[in-house]
A and B are shown apart, each in its own frame.
Chain A
Amino acid sequence: MSDSQSDTDYFQEIVAEIETEARNRAATGEYPRALLRSLEEEFRRWIPDASLENGVEDTIRGIEAASYVDASVPLESRSSVGSFVKWVVRRLTYFYHRHMAQQVTALGIHVTRPLRLLDAMLKNIDRRVSAIEDQLDVGAAARSELIAGIANTCVPEEFKEILLEHLTDAPGRVVFGDLFQPELLRFLSRQSVDIYGVSPTGDTIEAVDVRQEQLLDHLSHLESDVLGGFVLCGVTDRGSLNEQLRVLRLLLLRCKPGAPVAVIVAHPESLSSRFGPVATDLLHGRPLHPETWCYLLSREHASDLTVTEASDSTCSLITAKLQ
């Protein structure tokens, strides 16, 4: 076996060991997941959004090509004398023409640069507007009517005690959102769980802290590592996939290591039977399966993952602890 082959094999073994070690240390919580989540969020936040596509590209390319000024004046003439005279004049003035040509060429290049930038900006705006147009719901009115007519999934009584036990030793304030069942928040609060709710509809309960705003907006304004845990529901039933994943990402970022977390999610099948085919088809989002939430949380190396199904099989409670 050659030295290089032997080196390759040896280094591949080492890399495999390193990858296994990294996985094991991550699984045992030795690596700070909160730190990595925070880094990912920061990098995502600071990467600007712009790109370039085809458009007036050809025009700019034409300007660039035309900005090339050839200092060598053609010598062709109908007579050899004329050609000779042109040659002499060119020889005598070449230094001057070349100097000018270089400057004009440089100017052309500098002119096309901002044009390219403008082109890129326009395309970017165009793309963003297109994306927003896609998001602007042409059936928004119909969808609003549907949502207004659909009751939230009722959290079963049996989940109360599980949640209480799970949240009791939370290392800080627990957020409950989207809050749609004030009784559950009141129950947990009275049992000395340091908890507050976020409700887009503004449901308030006396002596219980409820913020009236969208959960995403609320989480966006929080600092990292300030929450002691979360109970996530509501948005899990009807938020778009992107909304659900974004909320989860922000919650993970805002929670301290060791925070207990809980997700209450309706069963997709039971929800569609309850909503009927029209609402199921037209609603933006659909509930993710409990297995999917488990997968998403396990990807973040959450531990003690438990799934509890409601006795009437309408929804599930997923609990876990963050690392």
Chain B
Amino acid sequence: MTSVHQLVPTISPRDAVGNHTLALREILRSSGFESEIFSMFRHSDLMADTHYVDDLPGDADAVIYQFSIGSPVADRWARHPAVKIANYHNITPASLVGKWDGLLAAEVQLGRDQMARYAKICDHAICDSDFNKFELDVLGYRSTETIPVLFDPLLAAPNQGVLTRLKRARRGTQVLFVGRVAPNKAHHDLVAAVKTLRETCDDDAHLHFVGTDGPPGYRSALDTIINHAGMRDHVTFHGSVPPEQLVSHYLAADVFCCLSDHEGFCVPVIESMNHGLPVVAFSCTAVAETVGSGGLLLADKSPLVVASALHRVSQDASLANRLRDAGHRRAKCFDRSVVEQQFRSQISSRLLESL
């Protein structure tokens, strides 16, 4: 049986790259390939289901490397004699994280170095977005294409307890952002925007952050900024939450707002659309093409403009409804079955031919 294995530096559930890797393994297996996941750092929940990187068979026919950070695992992939496929999820530029986390900056810089170094040895690269594809094309990757990331549609029923609590506590506009608390996600810009919204239009507006903590330095600076801006009671960090609770947050909020400075795709945008939550986003990197026609794309993320947009969406029912409808239509483009089909046809047309 032809073997197509995956290599990934870290594998864990509740993580976009981890979920994508697990989903792709199922597609490969159902397409008739022998497929396993090999990783250096494995979450305890996935120990039995995945393998340590050293166990990668030397006679594998093709190895897919999930590229999202710098890691010595990439060197293992590069040295492997099999057909080499990169699945590129983008790497945050060091300039965006260097100020906050030197170690993370070192890792992403290593990732960018590796990305450039392996242009010549990579047989084919699959990118989450055209933005990601463009980066690889510029580096001289000879064969690239765009297939969105595979993610669960988050069909879980909401956690009623959390939903009731959120609804009971709500006063003004409830603004939600879902993502790791990291500098490139620009949580501080969201705080500034909601602070402005509260000062000018809606003094009950509240900001909800859902996501794991990233660099401690950034979180600490963010806490200081929030305290100094007098927003301690108006910003809530919910941390990483299980799917049922995440659905509750999507259902309880009035608007999803993303002001990230760098995204390779941005899954929460599509999840928001799936749950009928209007999306307002700063148009940069891959965010614009992910949001597409399904949300308000701002070219300027100054607090005044963002606050105006949030206020408009929360006050204009017809606009909010149209955003919900457009969001649903947009989310269908990233439906799991659609993306799965793209991967299947890619595997049958290109991978099998090259083996």
Contact = CB atoms under 8 A, between A and B. Distances in A.
Interface of A: 3-5, 7-8, 10-11, 14-15, 17-19, 21-22, 25-26, 30-32, 35-36, 39, 42-43, 46-52, 57, 60-61, 64-65, 67-68, 70-72, 98, 101-102, 105, 109, 113, 116-117, 119-121
Contacts of A117: 102-103, 106
B171 to A, nearest CB: 21
Contact of A51 (B98, B293, B307): B98
Contacts of B298: 15, 18-19
Contacts of A17: 312
A279 B90 CA distance: 52
B305 A22 contact: yes
A36 B319 CA distance: 28
A65 B72 contact: yes
Given A18-B309, A21-B308, 13 more contacts: A3-B326, A5-B293, A11-B293, A11-B297, A39-B229, A46-B224, A50-B98, A51-B98, A51-B99, A61-B113, A68-B75, A113-B106, A117-B102
Nearest to A10: B322
For chain A, what secondary structure do more than half of its interface residues adopt (helix, strand, loop), or is it mixed?
A: helix
B188 A119 contact: no
A51 B106 CA distance: 9
Q: Which 10 A-B pairs have the closest CB atoms?
A: A120-B102, A116-B106, A4-B293, A51-B98, A7-B326, A7-B293, A8-B293, A22-B308, A46-B221, A22-B304
9 contacts: A19-B300, A22-B302, A25-B304, A31-B196, A39-B229, A43-B188, A61-B113, A68-B72, A68-B75
Contact of A7 (B102, B196, B224, B294): B294
A2 B307 CA distance: 30
Given A7-B322, A70-B54, A39 B106 contact: no
* B interface, size bucket: 35 or more
B40 interface: yes
Contacts of A67: 72
B100 A42 contact: no
Most buried by B among A18, A49, A61: A18
B34 to A, nearest CB: 20
A42 B229 contact: yes
Interface string B294-324: 1111111011110111001000000100110
A65 B76 CA distance: 9
Contact of B95 (A51, A61, A119): A51
Contacts of A18: 296, 298, 305, 308-309, 312
Contacts of B221: 46-48
A32 B188 CA distance: 18
B13 interface: no
A39 B303 contact: yes
Most buried by A among B98, B103, B297, B304: B304
B296 A11 contact: yes
